[in-house]
Chain A
């Protein structure tokens, strides 16, 4: 059953097509991630679902009800903003109670609900503080408590982790996912960080230039990318794309390994002579930059080689590197869309 349904939604700002015809349905209880580079229209899409932005065309349905022209307060949704947007002059308690107060819920019931929400997020001890006395992680919890306190139909999150430092982010991500699973609140999460998207999402919507490029589970969008944009946007470093006469060959750096490493397998492999020009040691991995001998290219081909694999590789040397055939991806030469596998002739 879909909780949110988006039909041909568009938003144009003058000549700029921020969102250009998106169809999407969000399932009950899932965590859907809108992923894309900045300016791809993901935040605009989220703001239209919230009712903060009026679409140029198309419809939005929440719980089978058309809400396209309803103001935000009539949609019964919750939103957590990038800055958390806690009301600075109110205590944590009043912040969490605000949406309940706005809906006219009596004082006693309000208190019970706020305390319950605070308990779930382990922030009972902070209820009398002001937002400025809280750490980044605590602010996020308060914002989440305020979002879930009135049992929203959908929870919208706009890059809520980007204000945290790298260390807090991993634990905040974990907490957020656990919380979402536990509560079963249908959630739409906007981010430009593919690691966040891969780690959190039940499904990922990859957006670019106001359009949806692919919808799927993290595995699907990563291993079976619909086009070269999705394939290069996901993964760090992104996929290697080798332009051939009438198609584009794609393979991920972690699948591009020295022959000795893959030789034990019986699977069919494609092999290249790889001229390594530079090596980056990243702790767990070695990142190799180099060129495929005999195939001219503007872009370096990369390999990601775990340090645990006992192979010596040196810059300036040539090696035989292979890719299993099942890890090869083919894209159309002009449209960049995924195509069927084909024979690789030299």
Chain B
């Protein structure tokens, strides 16, 4: 018989420590994030909103409320209208290409093959490298004189006298309006594709395996399963990918700033870069703030709409 007395029964209850006080802990842990957001996001945003309704410039910080004057002014300039159009154009075209490629990539990386891990690492690289470094790499690739792409084109006789891209020896990607716009889109796709692909990959693996097996037994082939089962089930995730894509592209100015500086002339200007050139380099703080904030209400409405519809779809 085991000795019963070996199991000693405690007579008094224990005490409560800091780790048990969830309310206090919650406040404590959230505090740093809260301070960070208020000082580095909240205050600048409020400042930008106030500036956009005032006549503040870099040379004159005296604050005078001037209503919608800044917005009227920027709307009157062709550069702004071009930047607004380009922002939408670049973002929408890039995101369409990105979503299609990301779906294909996610599908590909879901397969089992040798070197799958390496492929995943390579995929994420454009997103992991600093954007300025990546863009500088592209700057050289697209250089007007030393572009390696030109070498290749010349080597396979697509560029040069008497060829389809000829007769010049250089494409001058960033110097011609259409080529510059295409270049910007390619760099954007290169840069933002990994994020979407990873999001979609996660979505794809979260689809119940039995649903896909069921489709196979029900006689569905590759395309039917993709278009009628996977894509509809991925829609909420695609929405999230698009949301992230749109927001990061709308707010990005590095690619334009390093690649084309808005040129040739101002044909690849986007709102973020134009706000910088106008507000910071040009010193017109009010107009710069108005430019930067121009799409803010639209974006906010978009974000709310996408998040709501995503939540509705998740219930399925």
Interaction A to B = yes
A85:B214 contact, CB within 8 angstroms: yes
A99:B316 contact, CB within 8 angstroms: no
What residues of chain A lie closer than 8 Å to B210, measured between beta carbons? Answer: 81-83, 85
- The interface stretch among B58-66, B172-180, B216-224, B254-262 is B216-224
Known contacts: A81-B210, A132-B315, A132-B316. The answer to whether A103 contacts B219 by CB under 8 A is yes
What residues of chain A lie closer than 8 Å to B42, measured between beta carbons? Answer: none
A81:B315 contact, CB within 8 angstroms: no
B233:A72 contact, CB within 8 angstroms: no
Give the residue of A72, A77, A82, A89 whose beta carbon is less than 8 angstroms from that of B232: A89
Is B17 an interface position by the 8 A CB rule? no
Is B119 an interface position by the 8 A CB rule? no
Is B213 an interface position by the 8 A CB rule? yes
A98:B233 contact, CB within 8 angstroms: no
Known contacts: A88-B233, A132-B316. The answer to whether A79 contacts B220 by CB under 8 A is no
Residue of A whose beta carbon sits closest to that of B235 = A89
What residues of chain A lie closer than 8 Å to B232, measured between beta carbons? Answer: 89
B218:A146 contact, CB within 8 angstroms: yes
Residue of B whose beta carbon sits closest to that of A50 = B217
Give the residue of B211, B217, B221 whose beta carbon is less than 8 angstroms from that of A87: B211
What residues of chain B lie closer than 8 Å to A85, measured between beta carbons? Answer: 208, 210-211, 213-214
- In Å, the complex CA distance between A237 and B198 comes to 51
A88:B218 contact, CB within 8 angstroms: no
A98:B218 contact, CB within 8 angstroms: yes
Binary CB contact string for chain A from 137 to 181 against chain B (1 if under 8 A, 0 otherwise): 000000000100010000010000000000000000000000000
Is A71 an interface position by the 8 A CB rule? yes
Q: Give chain A's interface residue range (CB within 8 Å of chain B).
A: 20 to 34
Is B229 an interface position by the 8 A CB rule? yes
Binary CB contact string for chain A from 40 to 51 against chain B (1 if under 8 A, 0 otherwise): 000000010011
- In Å, the complex CA distance between A71 and B211 comes to 16
Is A52 an interface position by the 8 A CB rule? yes
Give the residue of B213, B219, B220 whose beta carbon is less than 8 angstroms from that of A81: B213
What residues of chain A lie closer than 8 Å to B315, measured between beta carbons? Answer: 132
- In Å, the complex CA distance between A282 and B211 comes to 41
Give the residue of A52, A89, A132 whose beta carbon is less than 8 angstroms from that of B213: A52
What residues of chain B lie closer than 8 Å to A102, measured between beta carbons? Answer: 218-221, 224
- In Å, the complex CA distance between A148 and B208 comes to 22
Interface positions, chain A 103-153, Cβ under 8 Å from B, are 103, 130-132, 146, 150
- Residue among A78, A79, A85, A156 with most chain B CB within 10 A: A85
Residue of A whose beta carbon sits closest to that of B229 = A87
- In Å, the complex CA distance between A147 and B210 comes to 14
Q: How many of B's residues come within 8 Å of A, CB to CB? A: 19
Is A73 an interface position by the 8 A CB rule? yes
Give the residue of A73, A87, A132 whose beta carbon is less than 8 angstroms from that of B219: A73
- In Å, the complex CA distance between A52 and B218 comes to 12
- In Å, the complex CA distance between A131 and B208 comes to 14
A81:B216 contact, CB within 8 angstroms: no
B316:A52 contact, CB within 8 angstroms: no
B220:A78 contact, CB within 8 angstroms: no
- In Å, the complex CA distance between A3 and B216 comes to 21
A71:B208 contact, CB within 8 angstroms: no
- In Å, the complex CA distance between A82 and B213 comes to 12
A89:B214 contact, CB within 8 angstroms: no
Interface positions, chain A 33-87, Cβ under 8 Å from B, are 47, 50-52, 71-73, 77-79, 81-83, 85, 87
A73:B208 contact, CB within 8 angstroms: no
What residues of chain B lie closer than 8 Å to A131, measured between beta carbons? Answer: 316
B211:A72 contact, CB within 8 angstroms: no
A79:B233 contact, CB within 8 angstroms: no
B208:A83 contact, CB within 8 angstroms: yes
What residues of chain B lie closer than 8 Å to A50, measured between beta carbons? Answer: 213, 217
Residue of A whose beta carbon sits closest to that of B316 = A88
- In Å, the complex CA distance between A308 and B228 comes to 59
What residues of chain B lie closer than 8 Å to A71, measured between beta carbons? Answer: 216
Give the residue of B216, B224, B228 whose beta carbon is less than 8 angstroms from that of A72: B216
- In Å, the complex CA distance between A316 and B232 comes to 66
Closest CB-CB distance, A156 to chain B, in whole Å? 8
- In Å, the complex CA distance between A50 and B208 comes to 18
B316:A130 contact, CB within 8 angstroms: yes
Closest CB-CB distance, B215 to chain A, in whole Å? 8
Known contacts: A83-B208, A85-B211, A102-B224. The answer to whether A52 contacts B216 by CB under 8 A is yes
Residue of A whose beta carbon sits closest to that of B231 = A89
- Residue among A51, A98, A146 with most chain B CB within 10 A: A98
Closest CB-CB distance, B103 to chain A, in whole Å? 17
- In Å, the complex CA distance between A72 and B213 comes to 9
What residues of chain B lie closer than 8 Å to A88, measured between beta carbons? Answer: 211, 233, 316
Closest CB-CB distance, A39 to chain B, in whole Å? 18
What residues of chain B lie closer than 8 Å to A99, measured between beta carbons? Answer: 218-219
B233:A78 contact, CB within 8 angstroms: no
What residues of chain A lie closer than 8 Å to B214, measured between beta carbons? Answer: 79, 81, 85, 87
What residues of chain A lie closer than 8 Å to B220, measured between beta carbons? Answer: 73, 98, 102
Binary CB contact string for chain B from 220 to 251 against chain A (1 if under 8 A, 0 otherwise): 11001000110011000000000000000000
Interface positions, chain A 246-263, Cβ under 8 Å from B, are none
**9 interchain residue pairs of minimum CB distance:** A102-B219, A85-B214, A73-B219, A99-B218, A85-B210, A88-B316, A81-B210, A72-B216, A79-B217
29 cross-chain CB contacts under 8 A = A51-B217, A52-B216, A52-B217, A73-B216, A73-B217, A73-B219, A77-B217, A78-B217, A78-B218, A79-B214, A81-B210, A81-B213, A81-B214, A83-B210, A85-B210, A85-B213, A85-B214, A87-B214, A89-B232, A89-B233, A89-B316, A98-B228, A99-B218, A99-B219, A102-B219, A103-B219, A130-B316, A132-B315, A150-B219
Given A78-B217, A85-B210, 10 extra CB contacts under 8 A? A51-B216, A52-B213, A71-B216, A73-B218, A81-B214, A88-B211, A99-B219, A102-B220, A131-B316, A132-B316
